[in-house]
Amino acid sequence: MALLVDRITVADLTLAGRLGRRSAFPPEPAKAGSLKMTTRSLLQELRARFAEALNAVAGDSTPVDPQVRASGDPKFGDYQCNAAMALAGRLKRKPRDVAQAIVDAVEVADLAEPLEIAGPGFINIRLKPESLSGRLGRIAPVGEGGVNPNRPELTDRFGIPPVADGDRLRVILDYSSPNVAKQMHVGHLRSTIIGDVFARSLEFAGHDVIRQNHVGDWGTAMGMVILGLWYRETRRRRGETDDVLRRRLVDLQSARESGVDERRALLQPIATDWAADLSDANAAVEPVRLEQLELGYQFVQTLTTVAEKTGVQAPGPDGDIELADIPRLVTQMLQTGGEGNEFERALWEAARAASIGYCQELYDRLGVLLRPEDVRGESFYHARLPRVVDDLRTALTGEGRTAPDGAKAVFREDQGAACVFVYEPDGKPRYANPDGEALPLIVQKSDGAFLYATTDLAALRYRVSELHGQRLIYVTDPRQQLHFKMFFDVGRAMGWAAPTTRLEHVTFGSVLGENRRPLKTREGGVITLARLLDEAESRAFELLHERQRAAESEEEGAAIPRFDEVEMREVARRIGIASIKYADLCRDRNSDYVFSWDKMLAFQGNTAPYMLYAYARIRSIYRRAADEFPDAQPYAADVTIQLDHPTERALALRLARLPETLESIVDELTPHTLCAYLFDLAADFMRFYEACSVLKAPDAASRASRLRLCDLTARGLRLGLSLLGIPVIERM
Ligand code: ARG
């Protein structure tokens, strides 16, 4: 690893346009049928073979967990099977005897050295070098068309086949899901970045992924959003600038704590203007930007608080009403639809379009897959909400219904609100407040309004019955855990999700500033995501600049091609965005993490710059060898991958484990395992490279073999990074 980090040189750099250029070794095109694909990962293969042996030893065919896993310590082989102990218990035999019986029964001679039994009955599995090199040898070179630099995973599968038809699932992936008229917060950023990895990995695995951006475009906040926009719009027509509005907002904010008279004095003129403007409600709405929406929204929100209990009135559709009540009324007008609210509707659409446009800009900048077509917001479900409540009422009133796990859902009105309660089989409430009182899932308020949960139930039905989802994944911050648990239970009790439908709520920890408090800007303000990305890019730029200056002052630095300004900007952009993503992905998503620019942008450690540099470094090693040995054909049919040196073997084993690493992401939805894998892969490569020179290989056969390992490593890194949503940089 020292090699990578001790002297970072700015190697000749290839940029955007040239990123897709074919490597100096024209890969042999794969001849149809000549290169058999491995159909199972090593781990799957071993599991299948041990499962068979376990059944033979147990004398039955009950499915067993063969408990095969990678060994933590090479002392115990590459993999271990730990199933003998449990099986011995079942068979009432000595664990070591059972282990011996498994060893006698299992057929792995083609894959592994003679098995060893250790301790109470662990079976250690050490793979044969031939089986490793055979496995890697079956990975075909990149095809004729080269690699799509934007989505390399679509053009180079690294020999990994998609899941068999029978195992393919329709996956509905709900992520990002920000709210209209609000900046995305860091939680939405995490959901977006993490969800994008799921989208890419599940798709790569061969599943059929439908992305759903469940934007909050219909909740109770919409009244305020609409009013805010309306107010801003009408004042604008009277020649008032946003600054005037901003000043008025500050006045309102400072009046929040003051007495009724004072507040009334402040509000009355606003209410009067408000009334005067009502007639003006028909002209076309100007497109707005998110900041303007936010300003209007904040204004109305503050206005509503300040107007509480002041009695200040303004004209409503059926006579004067309290200022504080208007937002609620507007929400209702929007939600009930009908004649006479075209203006509200137009304002809502403008707000929605501005918000979605702003999000898409961020998505594009982040390089995530989300597109405007993936937006299916809360509003989409609104016409289905009454039926949800009716169906719940009909099915769950009285006795209720029981979900497959025994949870019982019962419908009851509670203070006029429509509620569903969930009980354990023993009758205790499954969800209760600290005093032990049952917590309801409220689906309709006493005033008739529907809630977040109603929408999620409607969405669940839609996703299962119309989108035919078999696995539903939702990515949000953990504060919503209770909501998800409750509506999953209710959905299951209603049969809206079949017992086999997988419902998964995926959460993540918070992002903290270096002071362990929520993130702030350098000046102490709240960080917007756009500014966060700006800062990442400019910091990466500074870093690259410094790196280049350091290289120039060194002697050998003279031979190093320089970045020009444009190239440097582009590389900095990529590194900046990659660093934010990688920092988010590289640790267990459920732990909180401290956001540190210095750590995420470091060229050492498990970081994006390190991983990107490792990739570029391997590419340059490859190119240099290509220049010196133009005849070398690492993928020629007669090349065998030689694993004589321990570092060669270790690297090959690592490469052979890429498929099982990707499987684990698909099952467990843990991006950090992929990051850890890639980090280990880079380290294994560096150890190999230090021990086994490519340029000074003893003969052509071993040179070709080592070159092939170089190329496979680079391809593995590129595939892994691209599934993390991080495009590689060919030279840096
Ligand atoms: N808009 C919500 C929020 O910002 C997240 C929605 C998550 N998805 C869902 N189906 N509830 O908190």
Domain ranges of the chain: 42-126, 220-370, 378-506
Question: Which string of DSSP letters, residue by residue, matches 552-565?
Answer: HHSSGGGGSPPPPH
In terms of pLDDT, which residue wins out, 220 or 73?
Answer: 73
Stretch 585-605: mean pLDDT: 93
Stretch 588-607: mean pLDDT: 93
Atom of ligand 1 nearest to the CA of 215: 1
Q: How far is the CA of 182 from the centre of ligand 1 (A)?
A: 13
pLDDT of residue 337: 77
Q: Among 274-283, 458-467, 524-533, whose mean pLDDT is lowest?
A: 274-283
Q: Which residues of 417-439 are buried (b: 16+ CB within 10 A; e: fewer)?
A: bbbbbbbeeeeeebbeeeeeebe
Q: How far is the CA of 192 from the centre of ligand 1 (A)?
A: 12
pLDDT band for position 525 (cuts 50, 70, 90): low
Residue 548 near residue 518 (C-beta atoms within 8 A): no
Q: Is the CB of 456 under 6 A from ligand 1?
A: yes
Q: Is the CB of 174 under 6 A from ligand 1?
A: yes
pLDDT band for position 601 (cuts 50, 70, 90): very high
| Shortest-distance Cα residue to atom 8 of ligand 1 | 214
| Shortest-distance Cα residue to atom 4 of ligand 1 | 178
pLDDT digit string, tens, across residues 605-624: 999 999 999 999 999 999 99
Stretch 59-84: mean pLDDT: 92
Residue 13 clears pLDDT 60, i.e. is over it:
no
Q: How far is the CA of 528 from the centre of ligand 1 (A)?
A: 19
Write the DSSP symbol of residue 517: S
Max avg pLDDT among 104-108, 227-231, 272-276: 104-108
Tokens of 471: 């696995």
Residue 509 clears pLDDT 60, i.e. is over it:
yes
Question: Which string of DSSP letters, residue by residue, matches 37-91?
Answer: PP-S-HHHHHHHHHHHHHHHHHTS-------EEE-SSGGGBSEEE--HHHHHHHH
Distance CA 620, CA 617 (A): 5
- For helices 700-723 and 186-204, the axis angle rounded to 10 degrees is 130
Give rounded-to-5 percent helix, strand, coil for the chain: 50, 10, 35
Distance CA 178, CA 354 (A): 13
Distance CA 116, CA 121 (A): 9
Ligand 1 pocket: which of 175, 185, 189, 214 to mutate (most atoms within 8 A of CB): 214
Atom of ligand 1 nearest to the CA of 480: 12
Percent of the chain with pLDDT over 90: 73
| Shortest-distance Cα residue to atom 3 of ligand 1 | 178
pLDDT digit string, tens, across residues 646-672: 999 999 999 999 999 999 999 999 999
pLDDT of residue 12: 29
pTM for the full model? 0.90
| Beta pairing partners, 313 | 322
pLDDT of residue 678: 98
* CA angle, residues 64, 590, 158, in degrees to nearest 5: 60
Q: Is the CB of 474 under 6 A from ligand 1?
A: yes
Distance of CA 299 to CAs 253, 344, 671, Å? 9, 17, 41
Stretch 45-69: mean pLDDT: 92
Q: Is the CB of 355 under 6 A from ligand 1?
A: no
Distance CA 529, CA 580 (A): 11
209: phi then psi, degrees, rounded to nearest 5: -100, 125
Stretch 234-241: mean pLDDT: 87
| Shortest-distance Cα residue to atom 6 of ligand 1 | 177
Residue 214 clears pLDDT 80, i.e. is over it:
yes
Q: Is the CB of 216 under 6 A from ligand 1?
A: yes
Residue 559 clears pLDDT 50, i.e. is over it:
no
pLDDT of residue 556: 55
Closest to 173 (Cα-Cα) out of 205, 230, 214, 142: 214
Q: How far is the CA of 415 from the centre of ligand 1 (A)?
A: 27
Helix (H) or strand (E) holding 116: strand 116-118
Q: Is the CB of 179 under 6 A from ligand 1?
A: yes
Residue 11 clears pLDDT 50, i.e. is over it:
no
In terms of pLDDT, which residue wins out, 149 or 194?
Answer: 194
CA torsion angle 663 665 668 669 (round to 10): -150
Q: How far is the CA of 377 from the centre of ligand 1 (A)?
A: 9
pLDDT of residue 449: 87
Q: Is the CB of 177 under 6 A from ligand 1?
A: yes
* CA angle, residues 519, 525, 527, in degrees to nearest 5: 50
Tokens of 598: 């210095």
pLDDT digit string, tens, across residues 342-357: 888 888 999 999 999 9
Atom of ligand 1 nearest to the CA of 484: 11
Distance CA 281, CA 365 (A): 37
Q: Is the CB of 214 under 6 A from ligand 1?
A: yes
| Shortest-distance Cα residue to atom 7 of ligand 1 | 177
378-506 CATH pick, 3.40.50.620, 3.40.190.10, 3.40.50.720, 3.40.50.1950: 3.40.50.620
At position 93, the amino acid (one-letter code) is: R
Dihedral angle sign, alpha carbons of residues 146, 151, 154, 159: positive
Residue 602 near residue 610 (C-beta atoms within 8 A): yes
In terms of pLDDT, which residue wins out, 209 or 337?
Answer: 209
Q: How far is the CA of 216 from the centre of ligand 1 (A)?
A: 7
Ligand 1 pocket: which of 172, 177, 356 to mutate (most atoms within 8 A of CB): 177
Residue 152 clears pLDDT 90, i.e. is over it:
yes
pLDDT digit string, tens, across residues 452-485: 999 999 999 999 999 999 999 999 999 999 999 9
pLDDT of residue 331: 87
Tokens of 359: 């999000």
Closest to 228 (Cα-Cα) out of 288, 160, 293, 272: 293
Atom of ligand 1 nearest to the CA of 216: 1
| Shortest-distance Cα residue to atom 9 of ligand 1 | 214
| Shortest-distance Cα residue to atom 11 of ligand 1 | 456
Residue 111 clears pLDDT 80, i.e. is over it:
yes
Residue 84 clears pLDDT 90, i.e. is over it:
yes
Q: Is the CB of 476 under 6 A from ligand 1?
A: yes
Residue 186 clears pLDDT 90, i.e. is over it:
no
Q: How far is the CA of 476 from the centre of ligand 1 (A)?
A: 7
pLDDT of residue 561: 56
Q: How far is the CA of 682 from the centre of ligand 1 (A)?
A: 37
Stretch 298-309: mean pLDDT: 93
Atom of ligand 1 nearest to the CA of 459: 10
pLDDT band for position 520 (cuts 50, 70, 90): low
Ligand 1 pocket: which of 352, 467, 476, 510 to mutate (most atoms within 8 A of CB): 476
Among left, alpha and beta (phi > 0; psi -120 to 50; other), residue 59 is left
pLDDT of residue 521: 61
At position 463, the amino acid (one-letter code) is: R
Stretch 174-191: mean pLDDT: 91
Stretch 159-177: mean pLDDT: 96
Max avg pLDDT among 17-31, 144-158, 617-631, 643-657: 643-657
The fold for domain 42-126 equals: Gyrase A; domain 2 (3.30.1360)
Q: Is the CB of 47 under 6 A from ligand 1?
A: no
Residue 294 near residue 181 (C-beta atoms within 8 A): yes
pLDDT of residue 283: 59
Dihedral angle sign, alpha carbons of residues 353, 356, 359, 360: negative
Q: How far is the CA of 669 from the centre of ligand 1 (A)?
A: 19
pLDDT band for position 338 (cuts 50, 70, 90): confident
Tokens of 44: 């799957």
Residue 565 near residue 525 (C-beta atoms within 8 A): no
Stretch 31-43: mean pLDDT: 57
Dihedral angle sign, alpha carbons of residues 385, 480, 586, 202: negative
Quickly list H helices, 282-384.
290-307, 326-336, 342-366
Mean pLDDT score of the chain, rounded to an integer? 89
Stretch 686-697: mean pLDDT: 94
pLDDT band for position 431 (cuts 50, 70, 90): very high
Residue 7 clears pLDDT 90, i.e. is over it:
no
